[in-house]
Amino acid sequence: MRIELSDTSLMAGLVTLTSVIIVLMISFAEAQGGGLQKDFYSSTCPKTEKIVRSAVEKYFANDSTIAPALLRLHFHDCFVQGCDASVLISGSSAERTAFANLGLRGFEVIDDAKSQLEATCPGIVSCADILALAARDAVDLSDGPRWTVALGRRDGRVSSASDVANLPSPLDPVTVQRQKFAHKGLSDQDLVTLVGGHTIGQTDCAFFRYRLYNFTATGNADPSLSQASLSKFRELCPEDGDPSVRVALDQGSAGKFDASFFRNVKEGNGVLESDQRLWEDAATKDTVAKYAGNVRGLFGLRFDYEFGKAMNKLGAVDVKTGTDGEIRKTCSQFN
C-alpha cells in the first residue's frame, strides 16, 4: 500500500515541527537565564568585557583582597531582588545600608568600569552585567576558573534594606541554607560550590569568635572545631580582642582560589559555623568530600569546573531583561 502526502499536508507537518523546535528553544533559553546571551554587546559595545577586566586588574594590582569583595558583592546582589545591581544603590534605606551588607566593598571598581563604558558606549551596558563580569574576572585573577558570562541583564528600580533578610547568614544551619538557596532555584551542590568561593574570602573575628569561647552558652568551644584550629583562632581573636580583626576563611591557601577550603571543612578547620556545618549534613557532606579530593594530583579540578557552572546559575537568578528595569547612567543612582 502506497501513501502519498500532498504538498499541503507536508507543509502543515513542517510548520508543526518548526513550532515545536521554537518552543523547545525558548524553553531552553529561559532555563539558561531568561534571554541572557554571551554575545549580547557584540555590536553595541564590543569592548565591554575588556573595559571591565581592565578596571578589575587595576584595583587587584593594588589590593588582591578586592577579588573576594567583588565576588561577595555579586552574590549579595543576586540573592536580593535578583541580579539587578540593586545592591549598588546609595540611600538611607537602600540594600547596602542593611546590617548584613555593611562590610561590602568594591563599589569603586564597578563605578570606574561604568564611567569608562558610559564614555565609550553611553546607555548600553547595565551595572548588573558589570557586576557579573567583575566577579568572574576577580576569580580568574585569583588563579581560579574563568567562565563565559551570559549578558543582557537590566538594572532594577527597587533597593530596600528590608529585603536583605533573605541573605544566607554565617549562623544558618544547613537546613536554612538549603531553603534559601532552593528559593533561588539552586541545588545542594550549588550551595556547597558557591560557598567554596570563601576560599579567597575573609571575615571579622566578630562573626565567629562565639565559637571559640562560649558556644551556645556552654562556656566551651564549638566541638566541631579541631584542636589545632581552636588554638590558632584564639590567638587571632582573643576573647576581649578587636572584633574587626580580619581572618582568612581558607587557612590552607589564603588568597588563592582553589579547593583547599573544602579540606579545611573536612578536617574541622572551617572558620564560619555555617561552613563547618556542611560536613554534618549527608547531602552537603558528600559534595564537600568530592571537592576535598583524595588524590593530590586531582585535587580541586572538579571544583574549578563546577564553580563556573554554579556562578552562571546564580547570575541568572530573577534577572530583568528586555524592557524590564533600566540601564542606569550611574550605578549608585536610579535614572
Question: Per residue in 259-298, is it b (16+ CB within 10 Å) or e — as a string?
Answer: bbbbbbbbebbbbbbbbbbbbebeebbebbebbbbeeeee
- 168 known member of a binding site: yes
- 82 known member of a binding site: yes
Of residues 53, 76, 211, 328, which has the active-site annotation?
A: 76
- 183 known member of a binding site: no
Residue 152 and residue 296: Cα distance in Å, rounded? 40
- 315 known member of a binding site: no
Q: What is the DSSP string of 262-299?
A: HHHHHTT--SSHHHHGGGTSHHHHHHHHHHH-SSGGGT
- 250 known member of a binding site: yes
Helix (H, G, I), strand (E, B) or coil at 220: coil
Asked if 76 is an active-site residue, the reply is yes
- 275 known member of a binding site: no
- 258 known member of a binding site: yes
Residue 164 and residue 96: Cα distance in Å, rounded? 9
Residue 311 and residue 259: Cα distance in Å, rounded? 16
CA 206, 228, 72: angle at the middle one, nearest 5? 40
C-alpha cell at 101: 551588607
- 140 known member of a binding site: no
- 198 known member of a binding site: yes
**How large is the angle between the packed helices 107-120 and 48-62, nearest 10 degrees?**
150
Going by C-alpha positions, the residue among 1, 117, 94 that lies closest to residue 332 is: 94
Helix (H, G, I), strand (E, B) or coil at 115: helix
- 77 known member of a binding site: yes
C-alpha cell at 30: 529561559
- Indicate which residues carry an active-site annotation: 76
Binding residues for heme b, by number, are 198
Binding residues for Ca(2+), by number, are 77, 80, 82, 84, 86, 95, 199, 250, 258
Binding residues for substrate, by number, are 168
Binding residues, by number, are 77, 80, 82, 84, 86, 95, 168, 198-199, 250, 258
